[in-house]
Amino acid sequence: MDLAAELKTAAWRKATRSTGNGGDCLEVAPLSNGRVGIRDTETPEQAPFVVRAEVWAAFVDGARNGEFDF
């Protein structure tokens, strides 16, 4: 399956804590070949950002450790 077709049928999910913040959420979906799709819930028609699973894991680890806190 090519990437465009896979993104259309991907199992997108968002964090359970994101349901009450007015739609300012990201969704992620596991993809083939060790990739992860990331998209904005307010603009799901736009092309998602696709990264390797290792990049996604590093981002999640950084978020958990407060690296992106303002």
Which pLDDT tens digit goes with each residue over 20-64?
556 678 899 999 999 999 998 888 889 899 999 999 999 999 999
d(CA 49, CA 65): 23
**pTM for this structure?**
0.80
What b/e readout covers 42-64, taking b as 16+ CB neighbours within 10 angstroms? Answer: eeeeeebebbeeeebeebeeeee
